[in-house]
Amino acid sequence: MTLSAISFSPETAARQFLPVSDPDDSMPILSVRDLTRLYGPEKGCQNVSFDLYPGEVLGIVGESGSGKSTLLAALSGRFAPSGGTVRYCQTSGEWLDIYATSEARRRQLFRTEWGFVEQNPRDGLRMGVSAGANIGERLMAQGARHYGDLRAAGLQWLSHVEIDPARLDDFPRAFSGGMQQRLQIARNLVSSPRLLFMDEPTGGLDVSVQARLLDLLRGLTREFSLSVILVTHDLAVARLLADRLMVMRRSRVVESGLADQILDDPQHPYTQLLVSSILQT
Ligand SMILES: Nc1ncnc2c1ncn2[C@@H]1O[C@H](COP(=O)(O)OP(=O)(O)OP(=O)(O)O)[C@@H](O)[C@H]1O
Ligand SMILES: [Mg+2]
């Protein structure tokens, strides 16, 4: 079953997070059809279809190896699928077929309207430059040149992600893992992206650090009306952040729908197993 097949009113989710006057909240921001990328039988993702609406957080859950990261990479323009389409509704209202457009346009989207939070912050940060430079980079890619403005944005975003602004000139390697992850989030959000991809953003962090980061992410996604696609194998993270869920098993989406419904009343035997195994631990 695809997400478009379930009874769900996107307006409900959109209204919760968006100003009522937003003209685009009835149009999807991302429309995905039959997306397929396989490395071998049932290895990767196949025939994935869904629409993502403005302000929505979609969680992709499933066991290790089920294809979550492969799907996220194909969704976010990182590598071409072997079949299917990913279409993005631009701010102008025009649709852009991500894999039919030029590499230059894709890269431009990456630096501006889209963000990607890596599981390992070292992969998403430039470790050889200061925290402030990490935050300023995307603004510079958008044409900002004024040193004072870049610095002010750096200070503002450090405080948004609860890092002491006095650390602006420090290098990321002097930060703890949780701080690096928050810096990576600031680096992505500074350019006001409309769509954010995250692959296990709290994996590898201590439980107490995880909880604070999740609170922060929840606040930021709501405050900035972000559309988010979030990969996690942790159903507690999914429950806290996601409006809707897709459950993957062996490269296929086996169940999808509202997060609360899926977690409280899973229909597919595999989802039932996932949910019950979490409850027992
Ligand atoms: N570059 C690759 N070459 C060959 N096989 C790959 C490649 N990347 C992933 N795979 C295989 O595709 C399947 C799905 O992998 P993927 O990384 O998408 O899973 P995942 O759900 O993200 O798992 P995890 O929770 O462990 O991160 C796995 O069997 C994996 O071994
Ligand atoms: Mg993965």
Report yes or no: 221 and 168 within 8 Å, Cβ to Cβ: no
Which atom of ligand 1 is the closest one to the Cα of 70? 18
Residue 158 resides in a domain: yes
> Tens digit of pLDDT for each residue in 83-111?
999 999 998 899 999 999 999 999 999 88
Residue 20 resides in a domain: no
Q: What is the mean pLDDT of residues 180-188?
A: 95
DSSP 96: E
Work out the pLDDT band at 186, boundaries 50, 70, 90: very high
Q: What is the mean pLDDT of residues 11-30?
A: 54
What CA–CA distance (Å, rounded) separates 97 from 120?
A: 29
- For 36, phi then psi, to 5°, come to -140, 135
Which two three-digit tokens encode residue 14? Answer: 């959109």
What CA–CA distance (Å, rounded) separates 82 from 79?
A: 10
2 pLDDT exceeds 50?
no
Q: Which ligand is nearest to the CA of 63?
A: 1
Residue 164 resides in a domain: yes
CA of 200 to the centre of ligand 1 (A): 14
Report yes or no: 114 and 188 within 8 Å, Cβ to Cβ: no
Residue 98 resides in a domain: no
> Tens digit of pLDDT for each residue in 111-165?
889 999 999 999 999 999 999 999 999 999 888 889 999 999 999 999 999 999 9
What CA–CA distance (Å, rounded) separates 254 from 160?
A: 37
Which residues surround ligand 1 with Cβ inside 6 Å?
39, 43-44, 62, 64-70, 233
CA of 61 to the centre of ligand 2 (A): 10
State which of 36, 42, 46, 69 you would mutate to test the pocket of ligand 1, scoring each by most atoms of that ligand within 8 A of its C-beta: 69
DSSP 79: S
Residue 11 resides in a domain: no
What CA–CA distance (Å, rounded) separates 129 from 109?
A: 23
- As a whole-number percent, the residues of the chain with pLDDT over 90 amount to 73
225 pLDDT exceeds 90?
no
Residue nearest to atom 7 of ligand 1 (CA): 39
pLDDT, residue 26, reads 82
Residue 103 resides in a domain: no
Least confident range from 22-36, 106-120, 131-145, 241-255: namely 22-36
Q: Please, what is the average pLDDT of the chain?
A: 88
Domain span holding position 141: 126-192
Q: Residue 139, SS3?
A: helix
What CA–CA distance (Å, rounded) separates 274 from 261?
A: 14
14 pLDDT exceeds 50?
no
Residue nearest to atom 24 of ligand 1 (CA): 64
Which is nearest to 204 in space by CA: 183, 176, 223? Answer: 176
Residue written as tokens 């999807």? 28
Residue written as tokens 């980061």? 213
CA of 135 to the centre of ligand 2 (A): 26
Residue 265 resides in a domain: no
CA of 125 to the centre of ligand 1 (A): 23
How many separate domains does the chain show? 1
- As a whole-number percent, the residues of the chain with pLDDT over 70 amount to 90
Residue 167 resides in a domain: yes
Compute CA 106 distance to the chain's CA centroid, rounded to the nearest angstrom. 17
Ion ligand 2 residue ranges (Cβ < 5 Å): 69
